[in-house]
Amino acid sequence: MYDIQHNSKGLVSHGVSTCAGCGLELIIRNTLDVLGEDTIIIIPPGCAALFSGFGKEASLKIPGFQGNLENTAACAAGVRTALNAKGNKETTVLAFAGDGGTVDIGLQSLSGVLERRDRILYICYDNEAYMNTGVQGSSSTPYYASTTTTPAGKLTERKNLMQIAIAHDIPYAATASIHNLNDFREKVQKAKDTDGPSLIHIQTPCPTGWKYDPAKSVELARLAVQTGSWVLYEYENGKVTINSKPKELRPLKEYIKIQGRFKHLNDEEVEELQKIVTENYEKIIKKLEYMS
Ligand SMILES: Cc1ncc(C[n+]2csc(CCOP(=O)(O)OP(=O)(O)O)c2C)c(N)n1
Ligand code: SF4
Ligand SMILES: [Mg+2]
């Protein structure tokens, strides 16, 4: 078992300004611990920009810059190309973007990288809305979740980023969760070692946007997997491995009742949502089993 307190490389300074209990902070600390200091990071606007810093101060001890919301992958590809021209194949180029900057605004730029086979590692930390600008709904916001742009609950289903990446047939893509950081770290290592583009899509509990007790981030991430709301799997050179398949799904209620973003739902709507989540889960598992 990895002990971050005693083994951390310390590439993220203390005292960063994320909210208490922020899942994103755990993710960036663990990511850089695996990748090490020979990494260049590209961060778009969003909560991750809290790490690229204010003015002359940054909280990461690696080089990097903040691009635009729409071009993280293209910026990373540019850095990779420059490194390649200098004969540097070793440095990891990390694109680290939120869901809005990935599945909405930056999708064309990401698709270009996946098509060209640029060797970058792309991590989408998915807190399921545009959090940094006040919790607007993104195309990764789950069905019925309340955001400031969908106050009565979102009425469309989320885009499936993994399946979009897989459609480009890249060498490595994986989903991950903060409730299993060892699994996440192994995936980051595999992605780093991949000769070509790699993508990790990690669900990122956000106490501010999801409206829950900040002590419950890891518990919520676990419940997301146990209720079938988030599926852990990898796509490696054309083959799928399902990393966690609960024998029996826990009732969705256990996951949504501790989040304020679902508290507007009446019993009938909770039942409807349960049906949607179960159907989606069964559909994706069937598809993944076919691909494994
Ligand atoms: C083209 C463009 N549109 C809008 C914005 C304003 N903006 C800055 S950060 C942000 C939220 C990004 O959301 P996401 O990528 O999900 O990251 P999060 O804030 O949730 O971490 C927005 C909309 C921008 N910077 N650029
Ligand atoms: S709004 Fe959410 S993702 Fe952003 S810093 Fe706060 S807890 Fe983290
Ligand atoms: Mg977001």
Condensed to tens digits (0 to 9), the pLDDT of residues 106-155 reads 999 999 999 999 999 999 999 999 999 999 999 999 999 999 999 999 99
Distance from CA of residue 217 to its chain's centroid? 14
- The whole-number pLDDT of residue 6 equals 54
User: Does residue 274 surpass a pLDDT of 60?
Assistant: yes
Residue 239 per-residue DSSP state: E
User: Does residue 289 surpass a pLDDT of 60?
Assistant: yes
Q: In what side-by-side order are the strands of the sheet with 233-236?
A: 64-66, 39-43, 92-98, 121-126, 198-203, 172-177, 233-236, 239-242
Domain segments of the chain: what residues?
7-291
Residue of the CA atom closest to atom 3 of ligand 2: 206
Under the banding of pLDDT at 50, 70 and 90, the label for residue 16 is confident
- The per-residue pLDDT for range 48-76, each reduced to its tens digit, is 999 987 777 788 999 999 999 999 999 99
Under the banding of pLDDT at 50, 70 and 90, the label for residue 78 is very high
Q: Is the CB of 124 under 6 A from ligand 2?
A: no
- Mutational pocket test of ligand 2: of 12, 132, 138, the residue with most ligand atoms within 8 Å of the beta carbon: 132
Q: ∠ CA(166), CA(169), CA(175), 5° rounding?
A: 35
Q: Is the CB of 27 under 6 A from ligand 2?
A: no
- The per-residue pLDDT for range 171-196, each reduced to its tens digit, is 999 999 999 999 999 999 999 999 99
Nearest partner of 179 among 234, 211, 229, 216, judged by Cα = 216
> May I ask the CATH class of domain 7-291?
alpha beta
Lowest mean pLDDT among 3-7, 142-146, 244-248, 278-282: 3-7
- Mutational pocket test of ligand 2: of 202, 208, 210, 213, the residue with most ligand atoms within 8 Å of the beta carbon: 208
